Structure 1
Amino acid sequence: MYQRILVPVDDSETSRQALVETTRFCCEQHGKTRLVHVIDLAQFTWGGAEFVDVGELQTNLRENGRKVLESAHALLQGNGVETETAMIEIWGGSIATALIGDARSWQADIIIMGSHGWTGLDHLLMGSVAEGVIRHAPVPILLFPIKRQK
């Protein structure tokens, strides 16, 4: 039985659908669930920063991250899943690496996340946080591939 379940979330339909599946999984496990959202505060400091208020953009990223976590927390809590939240701030680098670091430090037993299931050119251009987590995760991964509606 998994006692410590780490669930990365963002503001995508993929993440929302994975949360629904996570609810089903967590209700059977009765463990602790940690919702994690990663924000990259350096993304607006690379070129062109002289035209925008970087501090305001970073504040907006934090506020949006807080809303993402609150929404995900409400969904799981409404289904009886004991949940804690955490926002991870990075300054450049890999979101997958940040998630793996959090999984290690929180001592997660499993990571549950959604994936867009992109292939071909979409995958090459967009990359995949899920793929990065899968390659280096210290624990099992439960991946929900979310198929896009056509």
Structure 2
Amino acid sequence: MYKRIMVSIDGSNTSTRALREAIRIGKHQHAAQILLLHVIDTISNVPQTGSGSPPSYIKELYTQARKYGQELLEQAQKEAKGEGLHVETRLVELKLASDHVAQVIVDEAKEMSAELLVMGTHGRRGLNHLLLGSVAEGVIRLTPCPVLLVRSE
């Protein structure tokens, strides 16, 4: 049924649960492919300067965020390949302050021709939801493909 299953991972326990659910689904599909995505969101945490270039210490932040993202993808790839699945990985970095993680996930799902998008949701409510928003909620609003949300324990 689903041949191309995309999983958005962020290193959280909920994200790991989503990966394992995607692997479970993929194992039951003939020749399924798992598409792993990690979005680096350093833009929203960068102080703005008048010069247009980030402060010098931000370069180290970018380097560490890329390294962390690559390690997450490699670990997830190893887990999915260990279950006999074909795996593709993609590390995407927000480029503009106006970029939103949810939109980037949806754009990547379209570009990768994902047939199912699996992601974790932290189930925030009340003030936390209002202040932090929900990437999963944004994805649901924007994506044309089915979405499977995996809640935290």
Per the normalisation by structure 2, the TM-score is 0.88
Q: Quote the residue 1:46 is aligned against.
A: 47
| Deviates further, 38-47 or 86-95 | 38-47
Residue 145 in 1 paired to residue 146 in 2?
Answer: no
Name the CA distance, whole Å, in 2 between partners of 1:132 and 1:7.
15
Q: Quote the residue 1:116 is aligned against.
A: 122
Name the CA distance, whole Å, in 2 between partners of 1:33 and 1:60.
25
Alignment check: 8 A CA contact 2:77 2:89 kept: yes
Identical positions, percent: 40
Aligned length: 146
User: Could you list the runs of 5+ residues in structure 1 that have no partner in the other structure?
Assistant: none
Aligned partner letter, 2:22: T
Post-superposition Cα deviations, 1:40-63, rounded to whole Å, max 9, x if no partner, equal: 24234324864x511111111110
Name the CA distance, whole Å, in 2 between partners of 1:46 and 1:54.
9
* Aligned alpha-carbon RMSD (Å): 1.6
Other structure's SS at 1:53 match: helix
Alignment check: 8 A CA contact 2:5 2:22 kept: no
Alignment check: 8 A CA contact 2:3 2:29 kept: yes
Q: Quote the residue 2:110 is aligned against.
A: 104
Per the normalisation by structure 1, the TM-score is 0.89
Report how far residue 125 of structure 1 moved.
Answer: 2.0
